[in-house]
A and B are shown apart, each in its own frame.
Chain A
């Protein structure tokens, strides 16, 4: 029983990280049709903001609160200067985002001197519950993710701006004819995606360490999540992210079943995540959660 609770907690914790990373990608890919290959570096910028706050002697938690706004503003700038010109050419847009990502990554690498930095979590250590030890920061991440996802979903489905965003995507001409400023909406959407990435980076950096390659580590898994969940909705890729995020520790735990550990090494378990996801995409090419939409 203890093991099961621990398993659920560990799976939820890592799935939350993945969901946070994927959510920003989902907003931009699903609502704007742009595959942001620089997404990993937006995550990195969020983490770097926290690092800067620490270097300036400001509280780390403050850096985490500010990071989404910093990265969101940066995203809005990128949209206005680059992405806006490329909506008609999605492949070029993809290459452009890749280039932007590369520039960010190498600048950050220079700024931190190619080093790795451990960032302390604002709330560290663990707490005991029923004889099991839980990481405080992972618990915070789970709650922050749930709250953020609910807020983002409410914004997109319940708010007037959210309705306009979805409308502008479905039929830009009609949206413009109805008096909706689509360029402004695209800026807002892109900034929102970037802000979510910034939040993801800021919250997860204490679990790992800050390095220029922090975002790259997650990018492939994040895109796999988008494929798995399907493009077109916000929920689809996010659910895909949850699945990929659950599989990473999940497959490692599968090795607890007698006989499995001998067959599946931890290295294999990582590979299995990709194999499983690719098999699912093979049978559901539009993603698991896109049925009946678009």
Chain B
């Protein structure tokens, strides 16, 4: 899978070999996964808009594979109220500009009943209007993010700052003794708002923020920032740089010898992160997410093994920081909403039902939408990367999102 097969395949997506093998067919510019059986009453059309190519493709590919797993489970069990789910895929290409046109195809040509996807907040901001306002379609956003997204008919199934940082930062400060934080960041809305949150918690716990800087997303040169981190006695880097700038930043931080001096947190790092940075640069990094492969949860373990069986050669893993867990959760919550409307797929009906959607089992544990907020409650886990595995430090069940209340 790594390359040799696609090397000969001129001009199309690396994932295409896997797509074709799994029964996907090209439809116009996008892809469709037809269910293996049909119902005369039609199918439920689900649109996936994610980053199959571009700088954050490792996350995007994990995302659509997670969607396929969830839909396969639903279809294998007889669909939703007898109707199979049909999957439509559009590539958002890690580029909001490209994405808008592609996403519009899901709304206008495929006329899907729901769209799940978008990974970065820049992407969500770009595609939410074509989906929700002009497209009048239900939108489920699966990735961890900065909060404050309270658009009607938009449901967030990934963790919020409260879920990710409310316990992690106090733990780092009070139990690990980190006192001087640096907040190097990509210059867009997620790091800006998350840092505001992080700064407040850091200061409330008696530590200080030594520096907070925002870089162009594709910045190549970080020597000055890394130099400052080294000279200012920073003992913890709260990293919100994203690919493609991430690789150069982590490499420079590592080569400057910072890893011997202080700790680091990156709240989207997970089992998939080795697709972005070298394993040695992940060592010791803290993260806080709604699932790790190392958690003690039978259902999560079963999901991971089903995913691995469905995509045996993939290097894109079923992981939380890549929004794959949020994607799975989103599909399953939508299933519950359709069950609640008794099969009515109209946007307003399913959206109203989403408000009370809940799943008893899911990646990391149960989850439900908190009515009136558009956000999901979920279990959260603090973990540290050690020798290629994420060691679970602590966990908390049914953590509330604390958004849009």
Chain A residues close to B by CB (< 8 Å): 3, 6-7, 10, 13-14, 55, 107, 109-116, 118, 120, 125-126, 128, 133-136, 138, 207-209, 211, 217, 248-249, 252-253, 255-256, 265-267, 270
Contact A267 B53 (CB under 8 A): no
Contact A135 B255 (CB under 8 A): yes
Alpha-carbon gap, A7 to B225, bound state (A)? 11
Contact A118 B276 (CB under 8 A): yes
Contact B225 A110 (CB under 8 A): no
User: Closest 7 interchain pairs by CB?
Assistant: A113-B14, A114-B53, A252-B224, A10-B223, A110-B11, A133-B257, A135-B255
Stretch at the interface among B143-151, B211-219, B287-295: B211-219
Contact B215 A253 (CB under 8 A): no
Contact B256 A116 (CB under 8 A): no
Assuming the contacts A118-B277, A208-B220, A211-B55, asked whether A266 and B252 have C-beta atoms less than 8 A apart, the reply is no
Assuming the contacts A14-B223, A265-B213, asked whether A207 and B231 have C-beta atoms less than 8 A apart, the reply is no
Q: A209's contact among B7, B227, B247, B254, by CB below 8 Å, is which?
A: B247
Q: A6's contact among B187, B227, B248, by CB below 8 Å, is which?
A: B227
Please give 12 more A-B residue pairs, beta carbons under 8 A apart, in addition to A109-B53, A207-B251, A209-B247. A6-B227, A10-B223, A110-B10, A111-B6, A112-B14, A113-B53, A114-B57, A114-B93, A126-B254, A211-B55, A256-B227, A265-B214
Contact A116 B57 (CB under 8 A): yes
Assuming the contacts A7-B227, A14-B221, asked whether A116 and B252 have C-beta atoms less than 8 A apart, the reply is no
Task: Give per-residue flags for B204-237: 1 if the beta carbon is below 8 A from chain A beta carbons, else 0.
Answer: 0000000001111011111111011001000000
From 8 to 22 in chain B, residues with beta carbon under 8 angstroms from any chain A beta carbon are 10-16
Cβ contacts under 8 Å, A217 to chain B: 218, 220
Cβ contacts under 8 Å, B252 to chain A: 135
A72 CB to closest chain B CB (Å) equals: 23
Assuming the contacts A55-B4, A249-B221, asked whether A115 and B227 have C-beta atoms less than 8 A apart, the reply is no
Cβ contacts under 8 Å, A3 to chain B: 227, 231
Contact A267 B7 (CB under 8 A): no
Chain B residues close to A by CB (< 8 Å): 2-4, 6-7, 10-16, 52-55, 57-58, 91, 93, 187, 213-216, 218-225, 227-228, 231, 243-244, 247-248, 251-252, 254-257, 276-278
Give how many A-B residue pairs fall within 8 Å (CB-CB). Answer: 120
Contact A111 B224 (CB under 8 A): no
Assuming the contacts A111-B10, A125-B255, asked whether A252 and B53 have C-beta atoms less than 8 A apart, the reply is no
Cβ contacts under 8 Å, A256 to chain B: 224, 227-228
Alpha-carbon gap, A125 to B4, bound state (A)? 29
B257's closest neighbor in chain A, by CB? A133
Alpha-carbon gap, A92 to B152, bound state (A)? 53
Alpha-carbon gap, A136 to B254, bound state (A)? 12
Alpha-carbon gap, A126 to B280, bound state (A)? 13
Alpha-carbon gap, A270 to B187, bound state (A)? 13
Assuming the contacts A107-B11, A126-B256, A265-B213, asked whether A270 and B54 have C-beta atoms less than 8 A apart, the reply is no
Cβ contacts under 8 Å, A207 to chain B: 220, 248, 251
Most buried by A among B10, B15, B220, B223: B223
Contact B224 A253 (CB under 8 A): yes
Most buried by B among A13, A14, A207: A207
A13 CB to closest chain B CB (Å) equals: 8
Alpha-carbon gap, A115 to B219, bound state (A)? 18
Alpha-carbon gap, A255 to B224, bound state (A)? 8
Alpha-carbon gap, A266 to B249, bound state (A)? 13
Alpha-carbon gap, A36 to B82, bound state (A)? 61
Alpha-carbon gap, A50 to B255, bound state (A)? 22
Q: A252's contact among B2, B225, B248, B256, by CB below 8 Å, is which?
A: B225
Contact A266 B225 (CB under 8 A): yes
Alpha-carbon gap, A252 to B226, bound state (A)? 11
Cβ contacts under 8 Å, B57 to chain A: 114-116
Alpha-carbon gap, A135 to B257, bound state (A)? 9
Q: B53's contact among A115, A138, A249, by CB below 8 Å, is which?
A: A115
A129 CB to closest chain B CB (Å) equals: 12
Cβ contacts under 8 Å, B216 to chain A: 266-267, 270
Cβ contacts under 8 Å, B224 to chain A: 10, 249, 252-253, 255-256
Contact A270 B53 (CB under 8 A): no
Contact A115 B244 (CB under 8 A): no
Alpha-carbon gap, A63 to B6, bound state (A)? 20
Alpha-carbon gap, A207 to B254, bound state (A)? 12
B4 CB to closest chain A CB (Å) equals: 7
B218's closest neighbor in chain A, by CB? A217
Cβ contacts under 8 Å, A253 to chain B: 223-224, 227
Alpha-carbon gap, A248 to B218, bound state (A)? 13
Cβ contacts under 8 Å, B248 to chain A: 207-208
B289 CB to closest chain A CB (Å) equals: 22
Contact B227 A113 (CB under 8 A): no
Cβ contacts under 8 Å, B10 to chain A: 107, 110-111
Alpha-carbon gap, A109 to B222, bound state (A)? 26
A119 CB to closest chain B CB (Å) equals: 10
Contact A266 B215 (CB under 8 A): yes
B78 CB to closest chain A CB (Å) equals: 35
Contact A116 B255 (CB under 8 A): no
Cβ contacts under 8 Å, A128 to chain B: 257
A151 CB to closest chain B CB (Å) equals: 26
Alpha-carbon gap, A135 to B312, bound state (A)? 37
Contact B223 A249 (CB under 8 A): yes
Alpha-carbon gap, A25 to B2, bound state (A)? 34
Alpha-carbon gap, A118 to B221, bound state (A)? 16
Cβ contacts under 8 Å, B55 to chain A: 116, 211
Cβ contacts under 8 Å, A6 to chain B: 223, 227
Cβ contacts under 8 Å, A13 to chain B: 223
Q: B52's contact among A112, A114, A126, A135, by CB below 8 Å, is which?
A: A114
